[in-house]
Amino acid sequence: MVDGVGSQILGAQNASHSGSLQGLTAAQKAQLIYTQARSELSGRLWRAALGGDDEKQAGGLIDKRSDPLGLDGLLALLDEKTRAASGHPAAPEQALPKASADAAACGSQGGVWERFARQQGERAGEGESENGANAALSMQNGPNARYAGILGSAASRTGIPAAALATIVNAEAAKGSDGRWLPYSRNPRSSAAGIGQFLNRTWEGQAEREGTWLHAFAQQSGWLNERGHVRSESRGALLALRYDPQASIETIADYARTNLASLRGSGVRIGEGVVEQAQAAYLGHHLGLGDAVRFLKGGLSPDRARALLNAQVGAASANRRIEMAGSAVAAHRSWLLDYVGRNIRPDRFAG
């Protein structure tokens, strides 16, 4: 499940085309450290406000698994001297590969990342399918034009239209005042991070799922054990990869493809149009597959609907909406369908 809609996102500024923490300026590093510290403090305050059993009170929305990065871990990734002093293991050099948002301007990073990109054939601009062909044209004049190549590549690989991927990112990502997506962002109420706002457990699940971009990269990086599970010592480096725009967009595409197939397999009827695919994929991204199936089939329980609504609009607003709608299920459905209708608009990104 990904927790991103309607929540307050603390976003550090975008580090131009660079997807590497090591490539950040001193000011950008300071902003990212500040964001992490604020996120950890906000998380503790949020859990204290919920009281007692966090998972029970939040209906499963709060990720109980500790973030292996944390402030100390982030400092360790940012600075070599901090790594030595803190005792944290060094992250592999390829942990945060440079995103190929503009291959001509950014080039490519050597080592594992270069071999991986060459083998997968996923460099920006290589996609030739109809799904990705118009991505560059549709975003060329916008604040997120640098991501057009990545969106086109992910669309060509997965079959999910680039416009559908772009509108999902736009709904999830923290944004600057000019609408730029901010890769270095954290949600203070959960472990969600990056422009895809993936929770820890969801990101790890995609790394362990065969056939995904993230699985192939994690496997080549040596982050998976012989059973295909994430190695404990590699978990921090893997989760830090959420801050790389290419990794996030490729994983959004894989997650969308999996969720659409699973929703259809569960008996949910989804049209083949871009709008239908985008909206259904977003519901899977936002709610998680289980809740998405229940939502689309009208099977969400009142308690779960209330918990989901509370997490998005706050308890006071949720109570008002529930009173007006007559039930938690109706209130949550009304709010989410309205949000999806207003924000999941692939036509805004279509060529």
Angle between helices 162-172 and 328-343 (to 10 degrees): 120
Q: What is the model's pLDDT at position 227?
A: 96
Distances (CA, A) of 241 to 89, 95, 330: 16, 6, 37
Distances (CA, A) of 29 to 12, 72, 246: 9, 13, 20
Angle between helices 245-265 and 148-158 (to 10 degrees): 30
Phi-psi region for residue 246, left (φ > 0), alpha (ψ -120 to 50) or beta?
Answer: alpha
What is the rounded CA–CA span in Å between residue 129 and residue 342?
28
What is the rounded CA–CA span in Å between residue 321 and residue 309?
9
Contact 193, 21 (CB under 8 A): no
- List of residues 6+ apart from 208 with CB closer than 8 A: 215, 218, 224, 228, 229, 230
Best CA proximity match to 170, nearest among 135, 195, 147: 195
- Each of the 351 residues of the chain gets a pLDDT tens digit; together they read 444 443 332 333 333 333 445 556 666 566 566 555 555 554 444 344 334 343 333 344 434 444 455 554 555 455 444 334 434 333 333 333 444 433 323 223 334 444 444 444 433 333 334 444 444 445 667 899 999 999 999 999 999 999 999 999 999 999 999 999 999 988 877 889 999 999 999 999 999 999 999 999 999 999 999 999 999 999 999 999 999 999 999 999 999 999 999 999 999 999 989 999 999 999 999 999 999 999 999 999 999 999 999 988 999 999 999 999 999 999 999 999 999 999 999 999 876
Tokens of 125: 């601009």
